[in-house]
Amino acid sequence: MSREGVRVRRVLTRSAAVGVLVASLVTAEVTGPAVAETTYPSWDEVAAAKANASSAQAQVDRINGLLAGLQSSANTAADAAIQRAAELDAAQAALQAAAQKATDLASQAATATSAADTLRKQSGTLAAQLSRGGGSDVSVRLFLSDSTATTDSLLYQLGAVSKLAERSNALLQRATAQRNLASSLSTQAAAAQTVRQQRDADAKKAYDTAASAKAAADAALADQQTRADTLYAQLASLKNTQASVERQYAEGEAARKAAEQPASTGGGGGSG
């Protein structure tokens, strides 16, 4: 995983440690107007509701509903941040693979080019030896020879010349094959380099997206922290308990539901 992906996950983990429901308040910048239009109870409304049992229960239900809705929105925001981090990891992996392929192909092309040059030189050396040995002259002398010893010697020379010619031709063919391979690999390397450049751009874009998602989540969490504290305090006032108790209960419920459904974070959680 990339360092940026790890940082995103650490932020989410720290948020969960503070309280799953508190982390749920990462919604204002992420979910837009629908969340912005949500109205929250004032302290005056809470005080008035305490005078009547049914009104008090209605406010308790209202606050728990708000917290549950914020939890659902938080799950979406957290999933989006993690997804962006995963996309960044995938983009960086693709970049590394493309860069490695481009490097490997360029190296193979250079090796093939060097091999072709070596084979051409060897073929040229043998051709020079053939020229100095006078292959056609040996054939003429063999035709004109009337001595068995001379004929045997000339046949041996002719065989040697023939072997040299075969070897020279084989080397030339290998040199041609290596030259063609080098040309093909060079073309592939150029294409791979183009892909690498595109993957580099993709990775940079994914990094910017992941960084923006993390920054938005951080800003939203900081902005909504006070709202969560207020909601828990109001809930405690209505139920004649303490805000810390209500928070702990909500966190416990959220953790229990998350354990029951490990594939996805459970929604809601309240004490009323």
pLDDT tens-digit series, residues 16-63:
333 333 333 333 333 443 444 678 888 888 888 887 878 888 888 888
Question: pLDDT class for 160, splitting at 50, 70, 90?
Answer: low
Q: Give the pLDDT of residue 255.
A: 82
Task: Indicate if the pLDDT at residue 267 is higher than 60.
Answer: no
Task: Indicate if the pLDDT at residue 134 is higher than 60.
Answer: no
Specify if 249 maps to a domain: yes
Specify if 23 maps to a domain: no
Look at residues 91, 114, 115 and name the one whose alpha carbon lies nearest to residue 4.
91
Say whether 25 sits in a helix, a strand or coil. coil
- Do 75 and 32 contact (CB within 8 A), yes or no? no
Q: Give the pLDDT of residue 88.
A: 87
266: Cβ contacts below 8 Å, ≥ 6 apart: 254, 256, 257, 258, 260
Specify if 63 maps to a domain: yes
- Do 270 and 238 contact (CB within 8 A), yes or no? no
Specify if 1 maps to a domain: no
Higher pLDDT, residue 146 or 221: 221
Specify if 176 maps to a domain: yes
* Mean pLDDT estimate for the chain: 71
**Domain CATH for 195:** 1.10.287
Question: pLDDT class for 178, splitting at 50, 70, 90?
Answer: confident
Task: Indicate if the pLDDT at residue 146 is higher than 60.
Answer: no
Task: Indicate if the pLDDT at residue 242 is higher than 60.
Answer: yes
Specify if 91 maps to a domain: yes
Q: Which domain holds residue 161?
A: 43-132+151-258
Rg over CA atoms, the chain: 40
Specify if 200 maps to a domain: yes
Higher pLDDT, residue 19 or 192: 192
Question: pLDDT class for 188, splitting at 50, 70, 90?
Answer: confident
Number of domains within the chain: 1
Tell me the percentage of the chain whose pLDDT exceeds 70: 63
Q: Give the pLDDT of residue 222.
A: 62
Q: What are residue 241's phi and psi, to 5 degrees?
A: -125, -155
